Amino acid sequence: MSLTLNWEQIEPSLAGVDLLEEMAAGFKAYSAGDCVVPPVGELLFEEPRGEVHIKYGYVRGGEHYVVKIASGFPGNPQLGFSVGAGLMLLFKQETGAIARVLLDDGHLTNERTAAAGALASRTLAAPNVKSIGIVGAGVQARMQAAYHARIFEGAEFLIWGRDEERRALCVEALREQGLKASGVDSLEALATQCELIVTTTSATAPLLRSEWIKPGTHITAVGSDTPEKHELDTSLMARADRVVCDSLEQCRLRGEVAQALKAGELAEDEVVELGAVLAGSAEGRRDAHEVSVCDLTGVAVQDLHIAEAVHRAQA
């Protein structure tokens, strides 16, 4: 058994893994209080702009704990490097001995983020979604579209991104996967046409406005994972009939929930965790006309579940 795996060795291991169910199990364990997940470690850089997240945790009574480091440096493509990098370290809970070193270059973080986004949308979106808006045109935008296409078969994807060239490349990549995709110039046009919207950007000022969102829309927000990032107008959070997050403790400090709490547009008791909705201990969508939002900031239990899935597949 190889202790250290690179991405070329890791990627085939995911073929037989149901990542949505892995994420669901992790979220349910987290919301049941079965996880130990300390606050996120974070390094933020200004010149060049970049960020590094350190996430770690375990499930009580489980076999392993995980330490994950993932970075994002938006200027990297101009230097010939990918935006993201990182690794995951899996240790045995009983002894602290290392079980796996996963040199995944950040790909596992992308996979678990995309799977969690699709899970949230599957759980909270209204029936009969026909049009899905993707806000952003990067790697995560493409992955969210690919994962959502597995659930919402036949849906059309509308793609918006600030950079027209990147948007066109994203649309082309999705069409090559057999998806119905087209670009839009206006976020308002995207919002008014879609029953489901997924936001994937690193914006620090709101992009989606409340008045653009039609009744029955669900929004899965995955871009805002630091205290500074902000994709949704706080008035949209206030308007939403159902606000769900991955971790209330984490979302007090980062993400769309944190922005709305800070603005006084939302109260903590108006927010429930996705794991609780999945377990049936909290309500999700109640009817097809509600507006719902799920704020996903990324929790270490997701990293634990995907790392353990790779470890099992390699055993």
Indicate which residues carry an active-site annotation. Answer: 68
Contact 63, 97 (CB under 8 A): no
Tell me the DSSP string of 241-263: SEEEES-HHHHTTSHHHHHHHHT
Cβ neighbours for 311, distance < 8 A, ≥ 6 positions apart: 64, 90, 99, 100
Spell out the residues 6+ positions from residue 314 whose beta carbon is closer than 8 angstroms to its own.
1, 2, 5, 9, 13, 100
CA 153 to chain centre: 20
CA dist 278 and 283 (Å) reads 9
Give the span between the Cα atoms of 147 and 237, in whole angstroms: 25
Residue type, 49: R
Contacts of 112 (CB under 8 A, 6+ apart): 19, 22, 23, 298, 302, 303, 305, 306
Asked if residue 97 lies in contact with residue 295, where contact means CB atoms within 8 angstroms, the answer is no
| Helix, strand, or coil (residue 141) | helix
